[in-house]
Amino acid sequence: ETGVTQTPRHLVMGMTNKKSLKCEQHLGHNAMYWYKQSAKKPLELMFVYSLEERVENNSVPSRFSPECPNSSHLFLHLHTLQPEDSALYLCASSQDAAKVKAFFGQGTRLTVV
Amino acid sequence: GQQVMQIPQYQHVQEGEDFTTYCNSSTTLSNIQWYKQRPGGHPVFLIQLVKSGEVKKQKRLTFQFGEAKKNSSLHITATQTTDVGTYFCAEGGGSNYKLTFGKGTLLTVNP
């Protein structure tokens, strides 16, 4: 148990669906991250939030929309995804963006059909 | 952006053999972190190295940061089946909010 909880653990969605991934951290951290992990690719940073403000948007397509309502919660809203978006989506948190010791959630395995 | 190259991509060993994975960068790294991801699991932080030439040990694991801060290594002595997983190096933090990962080394251990 890392203190970072992601739901759902598995998600299958059609290309026309809208869904959201949720991440919650109980560590009192100020920074939260979304990473994408595909087969045979390194962990790709998607978004970084520090104190609820987005500080990094790593050229992610607009069909991925993050939301950080407070320092404990992070969402990733998904719409009109493509099959190549199928991957493991990992949420992480750290004490702050300057001291990145990342604690990861267990991830959401997303399949787009 | 900052790139960290990791080798080898895969390593298969017999239980009891040693294992080493290497992380290299063309530019100076502010720090290097190591993570382990078990099959079907998520990355778990192992250690962070900050100083030039730093060496840290955790039981059978030895972590080194190069003198020029452009490379790092993770060495496992006498591997066990519990060491199976993918080992990632990563660089980041400081004024750069990013934590950039290498591609990882997948270690399999034959009992």
pLDDT, tens digit, for every residue of B44-73?
A: 999 999 999 999 999 999 999 999 999 999
Residues 12-31 of A with CB under 8 A from B: 31
**pLDDT value of position B23:** 97
The amino acid at B48: Q
Chain B residue closest in CA terms to A42: B103
Tell me whether strands A18-25 and A10-13 are parallel, antiparallel or unpaired. unpaired
- Between CA A2 and CA A73 the distance in angstroms is 15
Residue A55: pLDDT band with limits 50, 70, 90: confident
Four-residue CA torsion sign, B90, A96, A47, A107:
positive
**pLDDT value of position B78:** 98
Residue with the bigger pLDDT between A55 and B29: it is B29
Task: Check CB contact of B104 with chain A, cutoff 8 Å.
Answer: yes
**pLDDT value of position A96:** 75
Residue B94: pLDDT band with limits 50, 70, 90: low
Residues 36-55 of B with CB under 8 A from A: 41-45, 48
Calculate how close chain B gets to A41, using CA atoms only, in Å: 6
Mean pLDDT of A68-75: 95
Neighbours of A70 (CB within 10 A): 8
Q: Is pLDDT at A11 greater than 60 in this prediction?
A: yes
Q: Is pLDDT at B84 greater than 80 in this prediction?
A: yes
- Nearest by Cα to A76 from A102, A39, A47: A47
- Is B91:B100 a contact under the CB 8 Å cutoff? yes
Calculate how close chain B gets to A112, using CA atoms only, in Å: 19
**pLDDT value of position B45:** 94
Four-residue CA torsion sign, B37, B42, B48, B49:
positive
The amino acid at A13: M
Q: Is pLDDT at B1 greater than 60 in this prediction?
A: no
**pLDDT value of position B106:** 96
Mean pLDDT of A2-29: 94
- CB-nearest to B101 from A42, A58, A107 is A42
- Is A50:A97 a contact under the CB 8 Å cutoff? yes
- Is A74:A23 a contact under the CB 8 Å cutoff? yes
Residue A1: pLDDT band with limits 50, 70, 90: low
**pLDDT value of position A54:** 82
Asked whether the beta carbons of residue B42 and residue A90 sit closer than 8 angstroms, the reply is yes
pLDDT, tens digit, for every residue of B27-37?
A: 999 899 999 99
Q: Which residues of A touch B99 (CB under 8 A)?
A: 33, 45, 92, 94, 100, 102
Q: Which residues of A touch B93 (CB under 8 A)?
A: 97-100
Q: Is pLDDT at A72 greater than 60 in this prediction?
A: yes
- Between CA A70 and CA B38 the distance in angstroms is 30
